[in-house]
């Protein structure tokens, strides 16, 4: 009955005096019936006034009625005698004899602890009568203890199905916790690469990564750890210098388990591999995909396969084509070693793709300083800094400080000019040198024009123009991010090496110009210099050139296409007033692109000596091929009239119905904006 939702209890022709509910005393309440729900308990006092009656247990939600016959004390036979007559074995007879019974009146009380009941207890013995309520409470407590013990001893099959499931889950959880403290599984992770023009995976020169996981660790964490750590190891290894790592698809690798000379494909999305590490190990062992040695040492030889995307030159919709090629390559990944080569056009392999080089004053980014630079000698100079800021409408403002600061310049860098950084020398271009500087504990790349090409005034003009372009470039990088956000398009982080860059004018410490015929060993030739934070181009950082000064970029990877779209964005947002070219920079491990050494063409042809004016802008516009990203950003089809352009290159406030945050006019055809 207790398994039912509710039932009603009543005794025919009798009232019930309720004195306790769920272990708490209550004020006496007389009722003719009780409605009881699962888990509830009442204690009632019944005044027996009839010789025989029926007790009724009626279910509240059914028509079923259970009738039980009550035998009262003044019948010819007491309960104990009736029990003796009904027993069929010695054990049952012994149990009946053990039932407590008052030796005076013969009443049977199952929980009676004395020889006399409360009514027959001798008064001359001085014992006090037990309170009826306390007696009921004591019996209820004893009954509860016996009932609890009885329920715990029940077999699992007799339990409620929901309770049985909960018990099983609890037992499994306890087993997993116990197992996690002692059992571990070692994952041996190795990296293989499928080249774009190959049919067989090639093992990299990386050593396998060994990682011990607890048996209770989730399996998805193993696959994620393998992807991240193998990628880091590849980027940090010397062989990565010969690979175009940006074209390796680490986001969608495939996995396998090695057994002798075979590799069995495993799918992380399968249910059997979405549990715990222990479960995956047992599954592989049961499927005979592990060797006896691996089983004994609890080791899983995991193989991670990444794929090099190849390029399709057919049209401007090649990004989906490349994705489709990668998807088709995954269909015959690991289990089979024979695979038909993909149909490809001539000269489409990644290895044949050439990076763009600037035909107009090429520059090199300063390389990272080695340990030998700790012994470099420095000259100390006092200077006043000049910085630039850009307002929300793209107006560049110059800020000249009169507060003097100090900077250290490597003293002997001119003696080490060559093809590699050495002794404070960093790099050289067609028009200027780059050398090492230190200020406030931070490394800087310091730039000055070559003395045989320019004068003091021309050095000032060229370096000022370059810092102005750095400021504008950073401004457009932020506006490009704003455009992408307004179109709900994800792009890599792009910024210019403008943060903490400044133009310095030496006030003291500059040595006089050497006499004719004397070697010029001064660390600073002119009193004006440009300083920018030193960028790292080794280790996890990769230097890359995306376009030329007079050549539009045509990159095939996601980062390169974002830079191509960035150049197009500047041209559209300025309505043909400005175009930044010769884009080059450093790509970090988090895919952030830091651009440096800017050049530009403008309608007024006044951004610097590199400015080719409207003619170069027109050539770039004709050579640029809009890809999918340009379409998504609303750049493809944007009308930019390069034949009649105002001379003012400063961007004006937008009059568009949906202007971007930076205030430039959006394309004529606007896409629907999403809610960010």
pLDDT digits (tens, 9 = 90+) for 550-567: 788 888 888 999 999 999
**pLDDT of res. 133:** 60
* pTM of full prediction above 0.85: no
Higher pLDDT, 445 or 159: 445
Between CA 580 and CA 496 the distance in angstroms is 12
Q: What number of residues does the chain have?
A: 676
pLDDT bin (cut points 50, 70, 90) of residue 403 is: very high
The helix-helix angle for 456-486 and 558-573 (nearest 10°) equals 100
CB 332 within 8 A of CB 272: no
How many whole angstroms from its chain centre is CA 38?
47
Residue 584 near residue 546, CB atoms below 8 Å: yes
Say if residues 410 and 385 touch (Cβ distance below 8 Å).
Answer: no
Confidence of residue 351 (pLDDT cuts 50, 70, 90): very low
Handedness of CA 100, 103, 107, 112 (dihedral sign): negative
Higher pLDDT, 669 or 156: 156
Q: What are 461-494's pLDDT values in tens digits?
A: 999 999 999 999 999 999 999 999 888 888 999 9
Q: C-alpha dihedral over 290, 291, 296, 302, to 10 degrees?
A: -50
Question: What distance lies between CA 633 and its chain's CA centroid?
Answer: 26
pLDDT, residue 382, reads 94
In this prediction, residue 502 carries a pLDDT of: 95
CB burial readout 143-158, b (16+ within 10 A) else e: eeeeeeeeeeeeeeee
Helix, strand, coil percent content, the chain, rounded in steps of 5:
30, 25, 45
Mean pLDDT of 227-256: 75
pLDDT at 566: 92
Residues with Cβ within 8 Å of 495's Cβ and at least 6 positions away in sequence, in order, are 474, 477, 592, 593, 594, 595
Q: Which residue has the tokens 């306790």?
A: 20
So what's the pLDDT on residue 22?
86
- Measure the CA–CA gap between 277 and 500, rounded to whole angstroms: 48
Q: What angle do CA 502, 508, 512 make, to 5 degrees?
A: 110
**Model pLDDT for residues 596-616, shown as the tens digit of each residue:** 988 899 888 888 888 888 888
pLDDT at 67 exceeding the cut of 50 = no
What the block records as the tokens of 236 is: 């940090």
Q: What is the DSSP letter of 365?
A: P
- Residue 337, pLDDT > 70, answer no
Q: Which residue has the tokens 């028509």?
A: 63
| 245, 204 Cβ separation under 8 angstroms | no
DSSP 222-238: HHHHHHHHHHHHHHHSG
**How many other C-beta atoms are found inside a 10 Å radius of the C-beta of residue 432?**
21
Assess whether pLDDT exceeds 80 at residue 247. Answer: no
485 sits in the region (left: phi over 0; alpha: psi -120 to 50; else beta) called: alpha
143 or 331, greater pLDDT: 143
- What pLDDT sits at residue 155? 59
Residues 465 and 463: their CA atoms lie apart, in Å, by: 5
Residue 59 has pLDDT above 70, yes or no: no
Cβ proximity of 648 and 577 under 8 Å = yes
Nearest to 95 by CA among 105, 84, 85: 84
Q: What is the mean pLDDT of residues 196-204?
A: 76
Using alpha carbons only, give the angle 599, 589, 580 rounded to the nearest 5 degrees. Answer: 15
pLDDT tens digits along 646-665: 444 444 433 333 333 333 33
**How far apart (Å, rounded) are the C-alpha atoms in residues 402 and 385?**
8
Residue 15: alpha-carbon gap to chain centroid: 69
Name the helix (H) or strand (E) containing 183. Answer: none
What are 281's strand-pairing partners? none
Supply 8's token pair.
Answer: 């009603």
For the chain, give the mean pLDDT.
76
CB atoms within 10 A of CB 175: 11
Could you tell me the strand order of the sheet in which 16-21 lies? Answer: 24-31, 16-21, 42-45
The rounded Cα 4 to chain-centroid distance in angstroms is 49
From 245-249, 405-409, 495-499, 511-515, the region with the lowest mean pLDDT: 245-249
Whether 619 has a pLDDT exceeding 60, the answer reads yes
Number of H helices, E strands in the chain: 12, 27
**What's the CA gap between 551 and 674, in Å, rounded?**
34
Instruction: Provide φ and ψ at 560, rounded to 5°.
Output: -65, -40
- Determine how many CB atoms are found less than 10 A away from the CB of residue 483: 25
Please give the Cα distance from 259 to 335 (Å, whole number).
11
What is residue 517's predicted lDDT score, i.e. its pLDDT?
77
Inter-residue long-range contacts of 208-211, CB under 8 Å, 24+ positions, other chains counted: 209/233, 210/186, 211/186, 211/187
pLDDT at 654: 37
Q: Tokens at residue 455, please?
A: 């004068």
What is the pLDDT, as a whole number, of residue 179?
59
């Amino acid at each position: 009955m207790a398994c039912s939702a509710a039932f009603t209890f009543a005794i025919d022709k009798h009232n019930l005096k309720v004195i306790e509910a769920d272990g708490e005393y209550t004020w006496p309440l007389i009722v003719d019936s009780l409605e009881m729900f699962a888990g509830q308990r009442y204690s009632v006092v019944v005044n027996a006034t009839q010789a025989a009656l029926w007790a009724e247990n009626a279910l509240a939600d059914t028509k079923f009625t259970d009738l039980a016959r009550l035998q009262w004390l003044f019948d010819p036979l007491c309960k104990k005698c009736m029990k003796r007559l009904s027993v069929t074995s010695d054990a049952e007879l012994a149990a009946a004899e053990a039932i407590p019974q008052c030796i005076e009146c013969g009443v049977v009380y199952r929980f009676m602890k004395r020889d006399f009941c409360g009514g027959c207890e001798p008064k001359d013995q001085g014992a006090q009568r037990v309170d009826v309520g306390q007696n009921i409470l004591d019996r209820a407590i004893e009954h509860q203890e016996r009932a609890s013990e009885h329920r715990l001893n029940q077999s699992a099959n007799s339990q409620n199905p929901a309770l049985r499931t909960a018990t099983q889950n609890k037992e499994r959880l306890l087993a997993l916790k116990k197992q996690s403290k002692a059992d571990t599984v070692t994952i041996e992770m190795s990296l293989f690469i499928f080249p774009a023009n190959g049919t067989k995976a090639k093992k990299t020169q990386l050593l396998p990564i060994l990682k011990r996981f607890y048996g209770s660790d989730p399996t998805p964490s193993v696959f994620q750890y393998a992807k991240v750590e193998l990628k880091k190891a590849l980027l940090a290894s010397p062989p990565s210098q010969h690979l175009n790592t940006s074209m390796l698809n680490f986001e969608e690798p495939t996995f396998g388990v090695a057994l002798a000379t075979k590799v069995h494909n495993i799918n992380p999305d399968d249910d059997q591999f979405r549990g715990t590490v222990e479960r995956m190990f047992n599954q592989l062992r049961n499927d005979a995909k592990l060797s006896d040695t691996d089983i004994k040492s609890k080791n899983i030889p995991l193989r991670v396969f990444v794929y090099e995307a190849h390029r399709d030159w057919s049209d401007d919709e090649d990004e989906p084509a490349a994705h489709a090629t990668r998807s088709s390559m995954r269909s015959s990944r690991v289990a089979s070693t024979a695979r038909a080569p993909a149909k490809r056009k001539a000269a489409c392999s990644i290895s044949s793709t050439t990076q763009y080089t600037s035909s107009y004053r090429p520059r090199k980014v300063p390389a990272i300083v080695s340990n030998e630079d700790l012994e470099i000698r420095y000259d100390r100079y006092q200077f006043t800094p000049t910085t630039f800021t850009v307002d929300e409408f793209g107006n560049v403002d110059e800020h000249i400080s009169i507060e003097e600061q100090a900077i250290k310049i490597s003293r002997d860098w001119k003696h080490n000019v060559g093809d590699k950084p050495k002794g404070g020398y960093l790099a050289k271009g067609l028009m200027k040198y780059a050398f090492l500087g230190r200020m406030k504990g931070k490394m800087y790349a310091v730039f000055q024009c070559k003395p045989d090409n320019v004068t003091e005034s021309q050095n000032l003009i060229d370096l000022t123009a370059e810092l102005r372009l750095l400021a504008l470039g950073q401004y457009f990088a932020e506006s490009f991010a704003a455009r992408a956000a307004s179109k709900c398009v994800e792009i890599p982080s792009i910024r210019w090496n403008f943060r903490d860059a400044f133009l310095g004018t030496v006030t003291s410490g500059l040595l006089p110009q050497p006499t004719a015929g004397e070697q010029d060993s001064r660390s600073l030739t002119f009193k004006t210099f440009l300083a920018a934070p030193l960028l790292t181009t080794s280790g996890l950082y990769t230097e890359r050139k995306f376009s030329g000064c007079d050549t539009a970029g045509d990159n095939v990877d996601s980062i390169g296409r974002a830079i191509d779209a960035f150049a197009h964005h500047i041209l559209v947002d300025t309505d043909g007033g400005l175009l930044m070219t010769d884009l080059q920079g450093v790509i970090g491990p988090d895919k952030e692109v830091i651009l440096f050494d800017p050049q530009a063409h403008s309608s007024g042809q006044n951004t610097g000596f590199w400015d080719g004016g409207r003619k170069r802008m027109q050539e770039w516009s004709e050579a640029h091929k809009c890809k999918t990203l340009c379409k998504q950003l609303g750049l493809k089809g944007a009308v930019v009239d390069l034949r009649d352009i105002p001379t003012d290159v400063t961007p004006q406030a937008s009059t568009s119905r949906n202007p971007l945050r930076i205030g430039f006019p959006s394309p004529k055809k606007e896409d629907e904006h999403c809610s960010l």
